[in-house]
Structure formats: C-alpha cells, structure tokens
Amino acid sequence: MLSGDVVFAGQHTPTPLPAATMRVIRHSDPDTFLAAAAPMAERGQASASFFIGWAHAMKRTPPVAGERVYLGTVRDGAVYGVAIQRDEGPAIIGHSDAAAAMAFAEDLARDGTGLQGVVGALPATEAFARCWYRLTARTHRLRVRLRQHALATVSDVPAAPGAPRAATEADTEWLIEEQCAFVKEVGVPDPLERMRALVPKRVLRGEYRIWDHGGRVAFAGFSDAAPDFARIAPVYTLPECRGRGYATSLVAHMSSELLARGKRTLFLTTDVANPTSNAIYARIGFRAENDDWHFDFVAPKD
C-alpha cells in the first residue's frame, strides 16, 4: 500500500495476517522499560529519544490515578519492538520490526478499538495498520509525514531584533492560547483540556522560552527529563510576525542554552511538507536522521 492512501472496508480486502504469537511485555516501572527499550537507540537516536524521554518524564512526574500509560516491548529472537501510548494520543512504535508492530496492535486492541493512530517508520506503521484493520475494521489515513532531526553543535545564525526570555506564570494563558493555535495549524491531535493541564506545569519547570520584540512574538518549549538529551517542541511564531527570524533566533538561543547545561544532543520533529521549518532548523545545525509516518485510524465511512 502507498503511504497516503486510505483503506476502506468494502473497497479493500486486507491481506490475511497470522495471529501474533509474540509476547508483549507491558511495563509499569519506567526503569525496567528503559532497560528493555535501550536497543532501539541502535536503530536511530532521534527515534529512541521518544521512548527514553517519556520514561524519564514518567519518573519525574508519575501518572495520576486513572491516566492511561502504555509502555510495551517485544523481544523474540531477532524481532524487536517498542511502543508507547499515553492519554488519547497515538501509539508510537518507532523503528520496531513489522512483526513486533503487529503484536502491539493485537495487544492494544484488547483495550478497545478507539486508538487515535500510530506513528513510526513506514514498514512498522503499515504492518500495525493492516493488523488494526483486520482486528477492528478501522481504516488508516495519513495525517502527516514527520522528519526527525538531531543537533550537537549550534551554527551561527543572524540575530533577529528583540531578545529571548524564560516564560513566567504571567505568560501561561497566552501560551495556552497560542499553543492551541499551533495545534490547530499543524493538525496535531492534542485536546485543549490536556494543554490546560500541561502548560502550567511546563511553565513552572522552566520549559518555555519567549521571544520579545515590542511584545511576545514567538515561543518555544523543550523537554529535558532525560539526562543526556532534550527534545524541542513546540515552536510557534504568531502569523503576523513571521518571516523576521524570530523562531530561528529563539531556537538557536535555546539550543545553545541546553547544550551549555550539559545536554549532548537535541532532537526535534518537523513536517516534511513544511520547507520553511525544515530550512530554519537546518540553518541552526539540525540534521535529518529519519522519517516517521503518522496514520490516523478512522471509521470505514469517515
């Protein structure tokens, strides 16, 4: 199947798939999961950073009662895979082997059929999606093709007018409002309720930087729970303030700050279809490492 196609019940007969015989281990302890997920780094540091970062974030801020957290691994001979899923978000499976991806699909289907989607390398996500269709009759549709980038040294970039600063509690409502605008613009499935709960905590942890130039014109966030790296997200410039270098200067400044604090590598994700953001991050020194596909699961008539 070509990425971007939609498989509809009644128009497509899925290839028969054998039942997964591999055992999925569901982890409740982040440290045990970290050990089991470590081999994913051999398949790409940027992809592995999702799993490592989430586990460290869970150690720092344990899930509240009733919050859904899925940490799964598969190891069966040469077949290997890792999966994470939290709240109502997609399952992230990275560079898991196709057979492991199918095992995750069967395991997650036991919890219900309402999974939002799946994110990872194309062979893994398509194997997961075919299995999900067989199990649930829900089809898959490409939401976005993502590109993972890594940086170890910041390049010199022209300074935009204005200056960066750390966000304070006084910026919280503005950050929630603008992050909602960011989510709407890029089409990321992130409920408003989750942002209202998460953004204030991130402000208190000091995870946002704002670029001021006669007022707030751009912001960027980061997650630095892991000891050796940080992931930068989100990055957003107000629409009326774009094209002036604010985001470039802000991300470059924040990247230098994080590296100076001891992070060895920084990661971020872009939309392959957005040449502007890809060019910005390349100028700062980020280098593309791998692509991921984000498929949504939809009812057959959606």
| Residue 166 sits in the same domain as residue 272 | yes
Residue 7 has pLDDT above 60, yes or no: no
Report the largest interatomic distance among the alpha carbons of the chain, rounded to a whole angstrom.
61
Q: Is residue 45 part of a domain?
A: yes
Average confidence (pLDDT) over 143-160: 96
Q: Is residue 232 part of a domain?
A: yes
Mean pLDDT rounded to a whole number for the chain: 91
| Residue 158 sits in the same domain as residue 275 | yes
Give bridge partners of residue 83 from the DSSP assignment: 72
Angstrom distance (rounded) from CA 60 to CA 290: 28
Q: Is residue 10 part of a domain?
A: no
| Residue 79 sits in the same domain as residue 99 | yes
Residue 31 has pLDDT above 90, yes or no: yes
Angstrom distance (rounded) from CA 14 to CA 6: 12
Q: Is residue 2 part of a domain?
A: no
Residue type, 9: A
The 3-class SS string of 127-188 reads: HHHHHHHHHHCCEEEEEEEEEEEEECCCCCCCCCCCEEEECCHHHHHHHHHHHHHHHHHHCC
| Residue 98 sits in the same domain as residue 135 | yes
Average confidence (pLDDT) over 171-178: 96
The 3-class SS string of 211-232 reads: EECCCEEEEEEEECCCCCEEEE
| Residue 163 sits in the same domain as residue 101 | no
Q: What residues make up the domain containing 246?
A: 154-284
| Residue 45 sits in the same domain as residue 126 | yes
Instruction: Write the pLDDT tens digit of every residue in 250-292.
Output: 999 999 999 999 999 999 999 999 999 999 999 999 999 999 9
| Residue 140 sits in the same domain as residue 198 | no
Q: Please give the pLDDT value at position 65.
A: 85
The total number of structural domains that make up the chain = 2
Q: Helix, strand, coil: what percent of the chain each, to 5? A: 40, 30, 35
Residue 20 has pLDDT above 80, yes or no: no
| Residue 45 sits in the same domain as residue 111 | yes
Average confidence (pLDDT) over 12-36: 77
Average confidence (pLDDT) over 216-225: 97
Q: Please give the pLDDT value at position 190.
A: 67
Q: Is residue 181 part of a domain?
A: yes
Q: Is residue 255 part of a domain?
A: yes
Identify the residue with better confidence: 120 or 1: 120
- Banded pLDDT at 300 (limits 50, 70, 90): confident
